Structure 1
Amino acid sequence: MSAAALFPVNGAVAAQPDTMLQITFNAPPTLGTTGKISVFNATTNVLVDSIDISGAPTKTTNETYGTGGTGFSETDTEVDALAAGVTTLSGSARNVYYTPVTISGNTATIHLHDGKLSPGTRYYVTVDSTVFSGTQGSFSSFSSATAPAWTFTTGPLPTLTVSNTVPANAPSGTTGSVSVTVDASGNGNFNTVQGALDWLMQNCNTGISGAACTSSSVIKTITVDKGAYNELLFVRNMNNLTITGSTSSAADTTVSANNFESYNPGSGGSNTAAGTSNTTEGAVTRRALGGGRSVFLMEGSDLLTLRNFTLQNSHVKQSSYNNQAETLYFNNTKTNGGRFVASHMQFLSAQDTIQTKGWAYFYDDYIAGDVDFLWGNAYAAMFDHSELHTVYDVTAPTTGGYVIQARAYTGYVNTSTSAFIQTPGFVVSNSTLTADSNVPAGSTFLARAGGAEINCTLPAAASAQGSGCDDVAYVDTQIGAHISAGGWLGAAEGASGTELDVSPSTGQTEMAGWREWGSMNSTGGTLSLSGRDTTVGTDTVALTGGTAALDLTNPSVVFAGWNNGAGWTPTP
């Protein structure tokens, strides 16, 4: 490298086996369009991982995503299989496209493919001269294990120790704990959140014979140090797992990625091999690998808790894309499991921010989005003392979207008594609905119908589990001026087809249909509901207070139907 060239400040680092490599230059670098970054075992000279920033390996036959306004470039794109090296998953992995190189200021971060490095091993990195460039000169490359060389040594894996010390906010019934830390600077057990998840899934997943930490009575805690972590996440078959930021401020720690339907099609799930079929999403024809569009995919897990950090899908909507872009997808519909808690969190996206199934409790959270930013197939999903914030939609500036699209279950049949247990769907309690200042007044709706409803009208469905049902309740909530006077998206507000499966004329109750009680304006005064569309919603069924049969501001009531009626009181 010439004296004027960009040069790395940190040429040798210690790192963890899940390494994201970082290289700092003396000026902001520019990422090129061709070239490779390769990692070799320094003892054997064997190639262990390689990143091709041209994106050449990712494209398959008949993909037509274009560039600019009609699609996106494949430069700086790779395919990864998250948790592919976790043997307890029997070959299941989350297969996704991802961005391997990101630049912030003078620092470039390189995300290697998941699970490629070994603990306690020395490596060297080669970087082609075309990978980075900048205004102060050309980057000449790292070319070998000899000078000028970029080398690092991975640290050891943590020792698995089950402690009898139980955190004060652990779920009820917790008897022991396992803890690991994540720190991007290399001072924790892992550099990435996924590295910590992989290690816990390898050692503490459900069904592992003889492991002391597999039981749901043992809490598994990942503490993430302050900073920014750009990565997609995946967890499967993990019970009583908590991921928490290291401080009480959610803004101190951010996990983020740019992911969306046209980029990684589908809600997402694990599979044993990447998908090969194409799907058309907006103006993009894309191979659906299977891992989906969320930042964090959660499968088959119970008592999963997120606390004190920000989870962000950084995708910016464009009219040529399908812009569904969840921060999380919690996928577990078990009636005796499937519990999720998020407290003191920030969830940031522009569309479909939260997709949840099962039994989900959100407390003191800030959730931002636009179209259907709370949705899913839940038995009960409660948003308690939280702020639900509508963001400005750059692709539809005159509309404010929809807060909820419920595709709820009406309940299920008790396996012991054969009695039907009814569940309430989506409940917003003691919360606030706010919006960006440029979201037009009256342009946003409390909910819209999901369509394809089955057996949603009770009591006719009391012998069969209804699904896709429009069960949404707002209780004692402050509602901003961005919400339409009609409230709900019915025919009067421009909806077409069947807007509601349980209307006032067919028996809305505390537990079923679109319902509202105790609504306030943005300053806490009584909100006039004279303009509400009562052909699809009701504000006459009491949901709390002395005249209510059930108090839907009480989490124990909302989740009373869990586990054949045993009930669940979530721990924030």
Structure 2
Amino acid sequence: MRICTQRNVRTASVDLFPANGAKDVNPDTQLVLTFASPPIIGSSGNVTVYDNEKIIDTLDLSIPSSPSPYGNGSTKANYSDTTTYQSNLVGGMDFYFFPIIVRDNVATVYLHNNRLEYNRTYTVTIGSTVLTLSDGNSNGIDSNFSWTFSTKAQGPGSEATEVTVCADGSADFNTVQGAIDWAPSNSIKKRTIHIKEGNYEELVYFQYKSNLVIRGESRNKTIVGYPNNSAFNPPNRQGPSRRPAFSFKGVADLQLSGFSITNYYRGQAEALLIDGIRVVVDHMNLNGSGDALTTYGTAYISDTTLWGDGDTILGYGSVFWNQSTVISTAGAVSWTRTVQNIHGNVMLNCTIIGEQGNSTFARLPDNTGGVQPNWPYAEMVLLNTKTGGIAPEGWGPVQGAPFDTSHLHLWEYNTMDLDGKPISYSERLNVSRQLVSPEDDTFVEQYKNPAFVLGGWAPVVS
């Protein structure tokens, strides 16, 4: 089983991908330069792509990547800021982005999405100040540095139902986003995107896709990720959140299976944001920070591990969890914002771990200034859950002005420690409820049924 990494061919003292003179290159390729020692990204100079003499794309390194390029600034949007930042259109939405990312000796250049086309020949020039070497040796780039490659004659046709992603260019696409952009919106035909083993450092976002399966070759060795959070990509005045590494909006009948998603920044930084109906997440690793997983709509999550740093689940949607694990470094594991007349987070045969030993399952902080003060219809139901590092009160804090808690479903049944021994409920928060048999058998059986939780949808993992 081969891992898809870029294949580099040496030109002067720099290894290039695509190779100088390469043919049959995918138009979604990134440009990869491998040096003898770690390069340093400059603050001036251009990367320019030409089709004959016509400029197709330019990356100006004098433009900052973000108001908070290290992800450690304000998480609030400054709408009076008139600075121009690096911007890329991803899946129809603007994101701030890094034009170059350096990992060890490798510099990856990210062109603006969808600038290259099939059946064209391109020349790339890189200014001498764009990349320099930390050891003072020549970086192999001077004012005459350039290379040329040609793209494939054509890509997968509209009738195709399966395509493959591999970063070394040996498959239909080099990037996950490139393959997703190919998939038609609102399709009535099921299509599958296969992702080969490899590390795909890219920001992924898409809208209004349906009947789509995105399947990795290996859960632990197919890794999609990006450094992003609410400081690097603060909110727009309107539109979806821009802080996740991988997110989508308005989808239907989508399945993610068999790969890892990682957000490399801390803070409010989702690995995954789900916004759609009938979404399946199966056999996945999700590595985020605060709000590591945000959900809207309906989703079924199975055999999946989620890591986060508190409020690890931010739940607006109806989600049925089956045989999955949630690991939270501190604080409440979830902030469940269920609205009236839908179900919230229901977890069956799952494991919840608070790594610092004092976590709670869900909190309702003072939110009295919002549309839903304290989210009075919040629902989180735990059935046969193994737990570790959970405080004796189990739930909370529930804060703010007094409100009607009669609609809260902070419920648990047969909660155990990690060895499978029953947990004491003696100190549980008073607004939570501990279900017991036989009195609550009807509730337990209802909530064990995904279709009951998900509005009649009976999920099937393909």
TM-score (norm: length of structure 2): 0.86
Correspondence for 1:168: none
For structure 2, list consecutive stretches of 5 or more residues without a partner in the other structure. 1-11, 76-83
- Among 284, 291, 294, which residue is 1:345 paired with? 284
Distance 2:438 2:328 in 1: 25
Distance 2:427 2:210 in 1: 46
Distance 1:455 1:550 in 2: 29
| 1:121-140 correspondence runs (5 A) | 121-134=120-133, 135=135, 137-140=137-140
Shift of 1:157: 3.7
Correspondence for 1:424: 343
Shift of 1:138: 2.6
Shift of 1:22: 0.9
1:36/1:71 CA distance change after superposition, 3 Å? farther
Q: Deviations over 1:349-393 (max 9, x none)?
A: 111011111111110001000221112321x211210110113xx
Correspondence for 2:8: none
> What is the letter of the counterpart of residue 205 of structure 1?
S
Question: Is 1:571 equivalent to 2:461 in the alignment?
Answer: yes
TM-score (norm: length of structure 1): 0.70
Higher strand share: 2
Correspondence for 2:311: 372
The SS at the match of 2:50 is strand
Question: Is 1:314 equivalent to 2:204 in the alignment?
Answer: no
Correspondence for 1:363: 302
Correspondence for 2:331: 401
> Does the 8 Å contact 2:275/2:297 carry over to 1?
yes
Shift of 1:50: 1.2
> Does the 8 Å contact 1:126/1:141 carry over to 2?
no
Correspondence for 1:518: 414
Distance 2:147 2:439 in 1: 63
Distance 1:568 1:139 in 2: 57
Shift of 1:131: 1.5
Correspondence for 2:141: 141
Correspondence for 1:335: none
| 1:110-189 correspondence runs (5 A) | 110-134=109-133, 135=135, 137-141=137-141, 143-144=143-144, 149-160=146-157, 162=159, 178-189=161-172
The SS at the match of 1:303 is strand
Correspondence for 2:384: 476
Shift of 1:297: 2.4
> Does the 8 Å contact 1:324/1:352 carry over to 2?
yes
Correspondence for 2:225: 256
Shift of 1:54: 2.8
- Among 371, 374, 381, which residue is 2:319 paired with? 381
The SS at the match of 1:556 is helix
> Does the 8 Å contact 2:190/2:213 carry over to 1?
yes
Question: Is 1:26 equivalent to 2:9 in the alignment?
Answer: no
Correspondence for 2:432: 537
1:8/1:405 CA distance change after superposition, 3 Å? same
Q: Deviations over 1:294-314 (max 9, x none)?
A: 122211110111100001111
Question: Is 1:327 equivalent to 2:222 in the alignment?
Answer: no
- Among 327, 346, 359, which residue is 1:444 paired with? 359
Distance 1:66 1:158 in 2: 35
Distance 1:545 1:162 in 2: 51
Distance 1:328 1:109 in 2: 23
Distance 1:228 1:543 in 2: 50
1:191/1:50 CA distance change after superposition, 3 Å? same
1:32/1:454 CA distance change after superposition, 3 Å? closer
- Among 158, 174, 178, which residue is 1:195 paired with? 178
* Matched positions, count: 438
Correspondence for 1:211: none
- Among 26, 29, 46, which residue is 2:54 paired with? 46
Distance 1:543 1:250 in 2: 40
> What is the letter of the counterpart of residue 97 of structure 2?
Y
> What is the letter of the counterpart of residue 155 of structure 1?
K
Correspondence for 1:205: 185
Correspondence for 2:78: none
1:489/1:95 CA distance change after superposition, 3 Å? same
Identity %: 28
> What is the letter of the counterpart of residue 496 of structure 1?
Q
